[in-house]
Amino acid sequence: MTEILKVSNLSKTFKLSLKQQRIEKTKEKKKTAVNNLSFSAYKGEIFGLLGPNGAGKTTVLRILSTMIKPDSGDALIDGVSVVAQSELVRSKIGFLTSELKLEEFFTPNYLFDFFSDLHKIPSEIRAERKQELFDKFGINDFSEVKVANLSTGMKQKVSLVISLVHNPEIIIFDEPTNGLDVLTAKVVTDFLIELKQEGKTIIVSTHIFSIVEKICDRVGILIDGRMIICDTMENVTSQKSLEDVFFDVYAKVVGETK
Amino acid sequence: MKNNILTIMKKELIRFFCDKRMVITVLLFPGLMIFLMYSFMGDAIANMYTVDDNYTASICVVNLPKSIEYIANNSGITLTSIDINELNVSKEKLLKKDIDICVVFPSDFDSAVSLYTTNSQEAAPNVEIFFNTSSTKSQTAYTTMTTLLDTYENTMINKFDINKSDKIYDMASEKDTAGSIFSSMMPMLLMIFLFSGCMSIAPESIAGEKERGTIATLLVTPIKRSELAIGKIFALAIIALLSGISSTTGTLLSLPKLMGGASDSMTTNYYALTDYILLGVVILSTVLLLITLISIISTFAKTVKEATTSVMPLMIVVMLIGITAMFGDGAKSEIYYYLIPLYNTVQSMIGIFSFKVIPENILVSVVSNLIYTGIGAFVLTKMFNSERIIFSK
């Protein structure tokens, strides 16, 4: 197995504003989102990050995508540091999160070309890639319709395609099926499996157990910024279902904390 | 494959020029509205202070002296003699604007004037003129009557005259007059127009992208933050420049109409191509600086609304700097004034509009603006790198 992602002692703390302190019902001025986190992912696998809201899943993925920097620790993606060589990392990954929006004024066709330009994709490769992805997700029918006029599902498909314009080796998806109807969600999950079969590595965060059970080779359970379990799906679910494992672990960790 | 700066510029320009609403409101409306507004104001002001040449003023006079009647007849002014008992009725008519003025002479005006000497301790004979300032016709009649009385007074005590011949005594050329008027008004107007142009697009492009989450999508591509900052600044500067050209054209075409009553010499024909080129270079460097400043402020904001509000203090500063053009005597000659951002633009514009260009000062002004823009672009790049600024909620 080739290690393609190596996360080492990653920590991230956020300052809390007064408003956030009120929402979180705390007087602490800082919140540790990720606490000394280490894990690895291997080429050609789907790694699932599972955890409740506020566990730190999104923060980990944002660090991996170089949107934010860790306070300490580092992550190497295909041997490239997210801290020291963030631009190079961004050219190696495809990142999709609900936070990332597409400019609604433009059409999927224009956006594909625009992001291909930013990724320096040669025009002959671009046309082929566009055809392939647009066919797969049925975007040809609305490729000249402004994003503003598309449904949520259509927008999600376009976002997915845009994140893959450069055919990245590592794909990082934060809650990829959020807000999608069951049909579109199935298209997305089937596509992730297809990508895996093509030898791509996929890091996906979700709180939907069935998706993790269905598509992931390995799983990491994240609670309060700490990696509680990180193992293959086979090992994690050898005795109990993933849901039971998660709730047992969660009760134990929260009990320890209190 | 293209340069990322050009890719960002192209995207911003397509975003703007394919949006009819934006093109109309940012490019067409400012010039058109300024032209229509100033032209309309010019006509309205001219109408307000002008009375038809054929109009005969209605002037009622109590105790009309023979001497005044004679001068009035020679001047083509019609005076209507009334009795002192009709004075109150005449005042009522004046109030209702049925007559223009009402003049009351002392009963023995001619003899009293001839007997009066300035050495005597007595009060001079007093003429009362009732008028109504809310009526342009009344104001004109009042001026006519006081001029007539001045003429009468001069015929009695004339000792010397001033500028009585037909010679031209005002040594200012029409070009200088136009330069003086343009240089006092245009810098302020241009600063406001340029700022408005920048303000109408920069907050939307920066804070708007933050608010909608689209800037984050750009930031996870391999593009350098500096390329994103420079691409946006250049594209926005082009749009703001076009908006500035629209407003300036509207102003230059309509200002002569607005100032029409003040001087016939108000024309832009005195300015040569080099003046316009210099003005264009100064404006371009200023637009780059303004766009950079507004972009920095907008990057701090979480929403377009917040950005627009935050930019207001800068707008006030720009207006105050623009107003300084209306005071003082021409452009400053000391070179250090041309290092002060925005103030250097106003001083350069004064120099250009008043035909007193000092090339070194214009050069210093433009170069310093470009340096400030470079510093601003660096700051903007740092801000795009800051997760606290870009991803703050």
pLDDT at B205 over 60: yes
CB contact under 8 A, B216 and A99: yes
pLDDT of residue B1: 47
**CB-CB: which of A100, A122, A162 is closest to B213?**
A100
Mean pLDDT on B97-119: 88
Using a cut of 0.90, tell me whether the model's pTM lies above it. no
Residue B49 confidence class, pLDDT cut points 50, 70, 90: low
CA distance B370 to A123: 35
CA distance A14 to B99: 80
The residue of chain B with its CA nearest to that of A123 is B1
Crossing angle of helices B174-199 and B29-48, in 10° steps, is: 140
Instruction: Tell me the average pLDDT of chain B.
Output: 87
Q: Domain count for chain A, please give it.
A: 1
**CB-CB: which of A69, A87, A101 is closest to B222?**
A87
- For the segment B112-141, what is each residue's pLDDT rounded down to a tens digit? 888 888 777 788 889 999 999 888 889 889
Q: Are A7 and A59 in contact (CB under 8 A)?
A: no
**CB-CB: which of A67, A102, A117 is closest to B214?**
A102
- For the segment A117-174, what is each residue's pLDDT rounded down to a tens digit? 999 999 889 999 999 999 988 899 999 999 999 988 888 889 999 999 999 999 999 8
Crossing angle of helices B202-212 and B174-199, in 10° steps, is: 0
CB contact under 8 A, A118 and B391: no
> 3-state DSSP call for residue B260?
coil
Tell me which fold the domain B59-157 belongs to. D-Maltodextrin-Binding Protein; domain 2 (3.40.190)
* Cβ–Cβ pairs < 8 A, chains A and B: 63
Measured CB to CB, residues of chain A less than 8 Å from chain B are: 65-69, 87-88, 90-91, 93, 95, 99-106, 110, 114-115, 117-122, 162
pLDDT of residue A130: 94
CB contact under 8 A, B220 and A95: yes
- For the segment B63-83, what is each residue's pLDDT rounded down to a tens digit? 999 889 888 888 888 899 999
Of the listed ranges B11-15, B151-155, B300-304, B366-370, the least confidently predicted one is B151-155
> 3-state DSSP call for residue B262?
coil
Of the listed ranges A218-232, B127-141, B168-182, the least confidently predicted one is B168-182
CA distance B51 to A187: 80
- In a mutational test of the B interface, the residue from A30, A114, A174 whose CB has the highest number of chain B CBs within 10 Å is A114
**CB-CB: which of A87, A95, A122 is closest to B1?**
A122
In the block, residue with structure tokens 């495809």:
A94
**CB-CB: which of B1, B213, B387 is closest to A99?**
B213
CA distance A197 to B103: 106
pLDDT at A257 over 70: no
The DSSP code sequence of B363-377 is: HHHHHHHHHHHHHHH
- For the segment A59-96, what is each residue's pLDDT rounded down to a tens digit? 999 999 998 999 999 999 999 999 999 999 999 999 98
CA distance A223 to A57: 9
CB contact under 8 A, A162 and B14: no
Joined together, the tokens standing for residue B231 give 């691409």
Domain housing A198: 3-257
Of B269, B271, B291, nearest to B280 by C-alpha is: B271
In angstroms, what separates the C-alpha of B294 from chain A's closest C-alpha? 21
Mean pLDDT on B250-263: 71
φ/ψ of residue A205, rounded to 5: -110, 140
Joined together, the tokens standing for residue B140 give 């004109």
Burial degree of B128 (CB within 10 A; 0-12, 13-18, 19+): exposed
The residue of chain A with its CA nearest to that of B4 is A118
In angstroms, what separates the C-alpha of B245 from chain A's closest C-alpha? 26
Q: Are B116 and B122 in contact (CB under 8 A)?
A: yes
pLDDT at A110 over 90: yes
Mean pLDDT on B276-280: 89
Measured from the Cβ of residue B254, the count of other Cβ atoms closer than 10 Å reads: 21
CB contact under 8 A, A90 and B216: no
pLDDT at A42 over 50: yes
Amino acid identity at B226: S
How is residue B26 annotated by DSSP? Answer: I
Measured CB to CB, residues of chain B less than 8 Å from chain A are: 1-2, 4, 7, 11, 14-15, 18-19, 209, 212-214, 216-224, 387, 391
CA distances from B379 to A225, B226, B289 (A): 33, 9, 13
In angstroms, what separates the C-alpha of A94 from chain B's closest C-alpha? 9
| Percentage of the residues of chain B whose pLDDT score is greater than 70 | 96
ipTM topping 0.90:
no
pLDDT at B393 over 70: no
- In a mutational test of the A interface, the residue from B211, B217, B219, B388 whose CB has the highest number of chain A CBs within 10 Å is B217
Q: Are A11 and A34 in contact (CB under 8 A)?
A: yes
pLDDT of residue A258: 52
**CB-CB: which of B1, B11, B212 is closest to A120?**
B1
CB contact under 8 A, B15 and A88: no
pLDDT at B2 over 80: no
Burial degree of B384 (CB within 10 A; 0-12, 13-18, 19+): buried
Parse chain B into domains and list their residue ranges.
Answer: 4-45+174-390, 59-157
CB contact under 8 A, B7 and A117: yes
Instruction: Tell me the average pLDDT of chain A.
Output: 89
Paired residues of B60 in beta bridges? B80, B102
Of the listed ranges A126-140, B138-152, B248-262, the least confidently predicted one is B248-262
Q: Are B333 and B361 in contact (CB under 8 A)?
A: yes
- Chain A residues in contact with B391 by the CB 8 A cut-off are 67-68
In angstroms, what separates the C-alpha of B387 from chain A's closest C-alpha? 6
Exposure class string for B152-171: b at 16+ Cβ within 10 A, else e: beeeeeeeeeeeeeeeeeee
pLDDT at B99 over 60: yes
Q: What is the CATH number of the domain that holds A133?
A: 3.40.50.300
- Chain A residues in contact with B1 by the CB 8 A cut-off are 117, 120-122
CB contact under 8 A, B222 and A90: yes
Q: According to the 3-state scheme, what is the secondary structure of chain A?
A: CCEEEEEEEEEEEEECCHHHHHHHCCCCCEEEEEEEEEEEEECCCEEEEECCCCCCHHHHHHHHCCCCCCCEEEEEECCEECCCCHHHHHHHEEEECCCCCCCCCCCHHHHHHHHHHHCCCCHHHHHHHHHHHHHHHCCHHHCCCCHHHCCHHHHHHHHHHHHCCCCCCEEEEECCCCCCCHHHHHHHHHHHHHHHHCCCEEEEEECCHHHHHHHCCEEEEEECCEEEEEEEHHHHCCCCCHHHHHHHHHHHHHHHHC
The residue of chain A with its CA nearest to that of B212 is A101
Residue B262 confidence class, pLDDT cut points 50, 70, 90: low
The residue of chain A with its CA nearest to that of B389 is A68
pLDDT of residue B235: 95
**CB-CB: which of A67, A87, A91 is closest to B387?**
A67
- Chain A residues in contact with B4 by the CB 8 A cut-off are 117-118
Residue B331 confidence class, pLDDT cut points 50, 70, 90: confident
- For the segment B224-249, what is each residue's pLDDT rounded down to a tens digit? 989 999 999 999 999 998 998 888 88
In angstroms, what separates the C-alpha of A1 from chain B's closest C-alpha? 28
CB contact under 8 A, A105 and B217: no
Measured from the Cβ of residue B134, the count of other Cβ atoms closer than 10 Å reads: 9
pLDDT at B209 over 80: yes
CA distance B346 to B188: 7
B220-B223-B226-B229 Cα dihedral, nearest 10 degrees: -70
Residue B289 confidence class, pLDDT cut points 50, 70, 90: very high
The DSSP code sequence of B46-109 is: HHHT---TTPPP-EEEES--HHHHHHHHHHT--EEEE-GGGHHHHHHHHHTTSSSEEEE--TTH
- Chain A residues in contact with B12 by the CB 8 A cut-off are none
